[in-house]
Amino acid sequence: MSPYGHLARLSMVWEATARKIGNVHPGARFVDIEYMDFLRSAMSVSWDVRSLSYRMLLGGLIYESVQSTRCSVTSNTNLGMILLLAPLVLTAESDNYHAALVELLASTDVRDTQLLYKAIRIASPGGLGDAPEQDIRNEPTVTLLEAMRLAADRDMIARQYANGFADVFDFGVPAFTDAFARFGCVEAAVVDSQLRWLAAYPDSLIARKNGSAIAEDVQKRAAEVLRLGGIATPEGRAAGVALDKHLRSDGNKLNPGTTADLITACLFVALRENKVFPSAPFRWDVPDWL
């Protein structure tokens, strides 16, 4: 395992355990996915980069991680997390972390894209439509970074590859660390971060499954929760509970899954940069939350 692999696993466990609205957590499941599936998924990824050659470093790590996950669970639980965590783990030992990450993304080639496409086919994520260029059902002819740039306007994970993870470093990590300073525990900081992500960016998974108008409606509802004080006030928490019910009202079609993946990436960066430690208090004790 990479020296930072344990932090990647912890990030995945923290994200899945926090009682976020509309997502699976210990007290809420979907028809085909439960909390234990996310724990098994987190444990199944080895983050072992020693066997990977340089020319297939990123694509190979993504592919092997998705393959090992599928041996543990039958549904797609962590493709988005893997796509975000893989480059973050691979460059985590670098002194100039962000610059090394950007350099890694720029160094990808068509072989990385081929392995990425194979991984996506194995994971079979929900709401995947046809792409006008470089569709995953076809053989790619561009580098992984170029493929992500083609999808960046409709997918927040692809956008991170295209902009050097700017939203993670400049928005998501500060949102989490600010919330952790205010609430003093990881779970509340994760929940607060989720609301801020949802209010700032329409969730890509919701948009793929339901259309942009529905995703924008969820964005407005999250902004209203924050206007009422967010999870810091009884009014905000009540609005958050109501939004959770709304997101679960039609199966899991309104599951903000991309936002959950982005939060996982932010947790890893915060841990890697010692902005939060694995021993940090986790549980958020309030009587009026999920």
Phi, psi of 228 (to 5 degrees): -85, 5
Domain 5-272, what architecture?
Orthogonal Bundle (1.10)
Binned at pLDDT 50, 70 and 90, residue 22 comes out as: very high
| Total residues belonging to the chain | 290
CA distance 118 to 115: 5
CA pseudo-torsion sign 137, 52, 76, 281 = negative
Phi, psi of 25 (to 5 degrees): -155, 180
Exposure string over 218-228, b if 16+ CB within 10 A, otherwise e: bbebbeebbeb
pLDDT of residue 288: 98
Decide if pLDDT at 54 tops 70.
Answer: no
Q: Distance of CA 174 to CAs 108, 117, 190, 267, Å?
A: 28, 32, 12, 11
Question: What does the CA dihedral 97, 100, 102, 107 come to, rounded to 10 degrees?
Answer: -160
Task: Name 270's Cβ contacts closer than 8 Å, sequence gap at least 6.
Answer: 173, 176, 177, 180, 276
| pLDDT, tens only, 231-261 | 999 999 999 999 999 999 988 899 999 999 9
pLDDT of residue 56: 64
Q: Where are the domains of the chain?
A: 5-272
Mean pLDDT (the chain) is 93
Decide if pLDDT at 126 tops 80.
Answer: no
The DSSP output letter for 132 is S
| pLDDT, tens only, 156-205 | 999 999 999 999 999 999 999 999 999 999 999 999 999 999 999 999 99
Instruction: Output the pTM of the full model.
Output: 0.95
Question: What does the CA dihedral 46, 105, 144, 259 come to, rounded to 10 degrees?
Answer: 70
